[in-house]
């Protein structure tokens, strides 16, 4: 529709009234658009199963990595608790000095991972040590009153009113008010322990099997750096006065350095703490373990391409050092792969994938034929087989099963040889192929690693390794190939054992070399004439050039050439494997858009084109038109884009009413301007308030019935 006018203005075109189709974008996520296929439910189920398996494996990894740290903390608590129980001389001395046992737990700068660690720590302590574990955060404790309220509220399992007045420093327990103080806490602990001690022997035996007798009260400060100095000082001073009444243990969660304790607390307060330092595993070591257990294994069929893995690693290294965010990115890749790839139905364990191949429909067979890797495979076959693969579904299914099995074998061999190569490269100076195995993995995924300069440099350095180093490396490689993951390499193991035996048989070639060098030096010392000296040096130089390699040098070259042949045979890039698209997610741009979000662009897209996110067909509209089915805030946003610096609220409301009434089937011309429906007026006010909250407009001081626009330009 076109318009012609002498003056410029804002025109609203009323589209025809249509009934809005109600649908659930979340429920239909796997069955919309290009993914509307008969196997969407199966793909969604496979995605959920893989998600659960990865979550379970991640929890196991977290538990294994934290086991030693938690054991040390429990040992520290046991030592402090035993001293309190037996009232030893050391504890009596500590009572006199009012020292509180304190564990300084250094977790690193990956703050987003701390919650998972503290949650696991609380569960371990509550299961094995004491039921009295309190976790405090700085944002919940702006003052000592709030800290004591949170402390007693968590210990006594009662509700604490955060809006209580300053005079009401108490908590409600069974319709009774208890004042929030350390004295009240001491009385409560005494009553609880007496009650536990008076239980029947059977109940007492059950409780003592899980918790200690007279269990300590553990207070965890999750983010010590964020607590104000006054709150910490007041709490420590008050607690030190009651340390002889009940066993209190503090755990400080530290992200930076243990020196922060002495920066926040003066000596008079820090001297009241008996501090012991505990260091958690570094986030880089944690990430290396996660990559090794989740990515460099055949346990999970889903894989990441080199570009996608590099995106996740770059976000980890240059943004937050968060392993949990890395895992979330990995899980997001799983969802995107199963959503965007119709053939991801075959991304499962090998036996299950072979069964699913037999039930593939004709459309799915056509999807296989359209894969670039499968096209390359077809072009390499003879003409008769090409015709069968392109025309007969049964022949295609048989070949697909074989190719999936070959892909599985490729991954088994790839990860084994990759670990062997990593053992060799990490023994070299300056690590030409990277120190971490993830760096070597990325180098092998992207292209043929043997064609890179870094690999050539590594091979040259390997040819200069000493005998002891080379023997130690070969022994490690033999262990890798003997392991269950290297069961296909029996011949390789025999070859490595042969190399080791030959190295043992090599003994003293060095004695002859040393004898020759000594005799040549004596000759040089005898000849003092410059001419004869120069002649002798030239002769020695020529002899070195024509000198044959020793047995050790020949054997070393043979070992390096053998490793090089393994690399060229088994570390081919993943993109060269047929059907790699089934298990590899390679859309790095999509993942980067999700993880490295641009808020303004995302907000503009959501308000200007809600269909982009909601995927509701009724929200589709032509460019420049305002859809009458869009949410109110989207309508108001599009109308405000057509206005100048100041927006007249009355004109804005009339335009909004015109669009909204069109969808409801009413005639907007029959309604007077000053008699706009109250419901529409309320919807308009709410939408404008939301725009103001998002920062697009603000009230104007020049005119009371106008608002000022704050954003300009396109995204």
pLDDT of 312-339, one tens digit each? Answer: 999 999 988 999 999 999 999 999 999 9
User: Which pLDDT tens digit goes with each residue over 264-279?
Assistant: 999 999 999 999 999 9
DSSP secondary structure of 79-91: HHHHHHHHT-HHH
Across the range 144-157, mean pLDDT stands at 88
Specify the pLDDT at position 193: 81
User: Which pLDDT tens digit goes with each residue over 434-474?
Assistant: 889 999 999 999 889 999 999 999 999 898 888 889 999 99
Q: What is the pTM of this model?
A: 0.78
Specify the pLDDT at position 595: 87
Question: For residue 368, which of 580, 109, 681, 607 has the smallest C-alpha distance?
Answer: 580
Mode of pairing for the β-strands spanning 706-709 and 646-648: antiparallel
Specify the pLDDT at position 619: 83
pLDDT band at 27 (very low <50, low <70, confident <90, very high): very low
Specify the pLDDT at position 247: 87
Specify the pLDDT at position 613: 85
Do residues 371 and 581 touch, judged by C-beta distance below 8 A?
Answer: yes
State yes or no: pLDDT of 26 exceeds 80. no
Specify the pLDDT at position 94: 53
Kindly calculate the radius of gyration of the chain based on its CA atoms and give it in whole angstroms: 36
Name the packing angle between helices 40-86 and 283-294 (round to 10°).
140
Across the range 404-429, mean pLDDT stands at 93
CA distances 545 to 45, 426, 532, Å, are 68, 32, 20
Do residues 248 and 78 touch, judged by C-beta distance below 8 A?
Answer: no
Least confident interval from 387-396, 491-500, 643-652, 666-675: 666-675
Residues 6+ apart with CB under 8 A from 233: 265, 266, 269
pLDDT band at 602 (very low <50, low <70, confident <90, very high): confident
Specify the pLDDT at position 504: 86
Specify the pLDDT at position 192: 85
Do residues 23 and 616 touch, judged by C-beta distance below 8 A?
Answer: yes
Do residues 207 and 132 touch, judged by C-beta distance below 8 A?
Answer: no
> Dihedral, CA atoms, 643, 644, 645, 646, nearest 10 degrees?
-60
Specify the pLDDT at position 204: 42
Across the range 648-660, mean pLDDT stands at 91
CA distances 406 to 359, 411, 568, 602, 620, Å, are 20, 9, 17, 42, 45
Regarding predicted confidence, which is higher, 237 or 528?
237
User: Using CA atoms, how far apart are residues 472 and 429, in angstroms rounded to an integer?
Assistant: 16
Regarding predicted confidence, which is higher, 672 or 279?
279
Place of tokens 């009240």: 184
Task: Calculate what percentage of the chain has a pLDDT beyond 70.
Answer: 79
pLDDT band at 73 (very low <50, low <70, confident <90, very high): very high
Do residues 648 and 664 touch, judged by C-beta distance below 8 A?
Answer: no
Specify the pLDDT at position 20: 39
User: Which pLDDT tens digit goes with each residue over 442-453?
Assistant: 999 988 999 999
Specify the pLDDT at position 324: 93
Do residues 700 and 609 touch, judged by C-beta distance below 8 A?
Answer: no
The pair of structure tokens assigned to 309 is 């893995």
pLDDT band at 47 (very low <50, low <70, confident <90, very high): very high
DSSP secondary structure of 190-218: HHHHHHHHTS-HHHHHHHHHHS-SSPPEE
User: Which pLDDT tens digit goes with each residue over 138-147?
Assistant: 999 999 999 9
User: Using CA atoms, how far apart are residues 403 and 377, in angstroms rounded to an integer?
Assistant: 10
Specify the pLDDT at position 535: 73
Classify 462 as helix, strand or coil: helix
Question: For residue 484, which of 589, 560, 412, 406 has the smallest C-alpha distance?
Answer: 412
User: Using CA atoms, how far apart are residues 304 and 294, in angstroms rounded to an integer?
Assistant: 11
Do residues 58 and 330 touch, judged by C-beta distance below 8 A?
Answer: no
Across the range 348-357, mean pLDDT stands at 92
Specify the pLDDT at position 194: 77
Specify the pLDDT at position 661: 84
Place of tokens 């050439």: 561
Regarding predicted confidence, which is higher, 498 or 673?
498
Specify the pLDDT at position 444: 93
User: Using CA atoms, how far apart are residues 176 and 417, in angstroms rounded to an integer?
Assistant: 69
State yes or no: pLDDT of 35 exceeds 50. no
pLDDT band at 605 (very low <50, low <70, confident <90, very high): confident
Please state, rounded to an integer, the average pLDDT across all residues of the chain. 82
State yes or no: pLDDT of 371 exceeds 90. yes
For Cα atoms 480, 484, 489, give the angle at the middle one, nearest 5 degrees.
Answer: 65
Least confident interval from 16-20, 97-101, 626-630: 16-20
pLDDT band at 156 (very low <50, low <70, confident <90, very high): confident
């Amino acid at each position: 529709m076109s318009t012609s006018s002498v003056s410029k203005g804002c025109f609203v075109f009323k589209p025809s009234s249509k009934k809005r189709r109600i649908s659930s974008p979340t429920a239909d996520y796997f069955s919309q658009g290009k993914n509307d296929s008969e196997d969407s439910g199966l793909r969604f189920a496979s995605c959920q199963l893989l998600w659960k398996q990865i979550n379970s494996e991640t929890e196991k990894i977290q538990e294994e990595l934290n086991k030693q740290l938690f054991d040390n903390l429990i040992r520290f608590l046991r030592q402090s608790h035993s001293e309190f129980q037996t009232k030893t001389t050391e504890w009596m001395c500590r009572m006199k000095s009012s020292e509180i046992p304190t564990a300084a737990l250094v977790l690193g700068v990956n703050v987003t991972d701390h919650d998972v660690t503290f949650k696991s720590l609380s569960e371990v302590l509550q299961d094995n040590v004491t039921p009295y574990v309190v976790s405090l955060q700085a944002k919940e404790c702006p003052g000592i009153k709030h800290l004591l309220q949170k402390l007693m509220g968590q210990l006594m399992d009662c509700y604490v009113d955060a809006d209580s007045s300053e005079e009401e420093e108490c908590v409600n327990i069974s319709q009774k008010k208890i004042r929030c103080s350390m004295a009240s806490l001491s009385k409560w602990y005494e009553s609880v322990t007496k009650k536990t001690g008076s239980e029947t022997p059977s109940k007492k035996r059950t409780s003592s099997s899980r918790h200690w007798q007279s269990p300590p009260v553990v207070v965890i400060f999750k983010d010590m750096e964020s607590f104000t100095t006054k709150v910490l000082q007041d709490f420590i001073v008050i607690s030190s006065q009651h340390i002889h009444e009940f066993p209190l243990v503090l755990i400080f969660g530290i992200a930076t350095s243990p020196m922060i304790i002495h920066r926040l607390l003066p000596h008079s307060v820090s001297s009241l703490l008996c501090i012991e330092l505990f260091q958690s595993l570094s986030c880089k070591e944690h990430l290396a373990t996660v990559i090794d257990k989740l990515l460099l294994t055949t346990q999970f069929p889903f894989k990441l391409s080199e570009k996608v893995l590099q995106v996740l690693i770059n976000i980890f290294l240059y943004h937050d050092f968060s392993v949990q965010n890395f895992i979330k990115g990995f899980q997001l890749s799983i969802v995107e792969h199963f959503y965007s790839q119709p053939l991801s139905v075959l991304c499962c364990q090998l036996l299950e994938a072979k069964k699913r191949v037999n039930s593939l429909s004709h459309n799915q067979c056509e999807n296989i034929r359209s894969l670039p890797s499968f096209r390359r495979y077809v072009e390499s076959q003879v003409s008769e087989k090409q015709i069968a693969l392109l025309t007969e579904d049964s022949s295609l299914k048989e070949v697909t099963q074989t190719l999936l099995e070959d892909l599985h074998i490729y991954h088994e061999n790839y990860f084994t040889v990759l670990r062997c190569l990593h053992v060799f490269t990490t023994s070299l100076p300056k690590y030409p192929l990277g120190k971490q195995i993830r760096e070597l993995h990325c180098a092998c995924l992207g292209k043929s690693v043997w064609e890179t300069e870094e690999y050539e440099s590594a091979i040259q350095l390997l040819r200069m390794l000493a005998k002891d180093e080379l023997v130690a490396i070969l022994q490690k490689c033999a262990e890798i190939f003997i392991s269950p993951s290297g069961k296909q390499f029996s011949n390789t193991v025999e070859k490595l054992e042969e190399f080791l035996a030959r190295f043992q048989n090599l003994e003293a070639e060095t004695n002859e070399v040393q004898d020759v060098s000594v005799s040549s030096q004596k000759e040089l010392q005898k000849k003092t004439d410059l001419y004869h000296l120069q002649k002798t040096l030239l002769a020695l130089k020529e002899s070195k050039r024509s000198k044959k390699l020793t047995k050790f040098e020949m054997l070393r070259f043979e070992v390096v050439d053998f490793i090089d042949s393994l690399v060229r045979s088994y570390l081919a890039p993943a993109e060269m494997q047929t059907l790699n698209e089934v298990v590899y997610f390679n859309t790095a741009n999509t993942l980067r858009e999700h993880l490295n979000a641009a808020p303004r662009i995302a907000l503009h897209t959501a308000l200007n084109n809600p269909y982009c996110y909601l995927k509701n067909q009724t929200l589709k509209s032509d460019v420049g038109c305002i859809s009458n089915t869009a949410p109110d805030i989207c309508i108001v946003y599009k109308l405000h884009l057509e206005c100048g610096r100041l927006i007249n609220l009355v004109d804005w409301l009339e335009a909004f009413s015109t669009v909204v009434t069109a969808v409801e089937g009413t005639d907007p011309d029959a309604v007077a301007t000053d008699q706009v429906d109250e419901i529409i007026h309320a919807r308009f006010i709410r939408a404008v308030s939301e725009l103001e909250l998002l920062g697009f407009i603000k009230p104007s001081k020049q005119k009371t019935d106008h608002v000022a626009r704050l954003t300009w330009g396109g995204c």
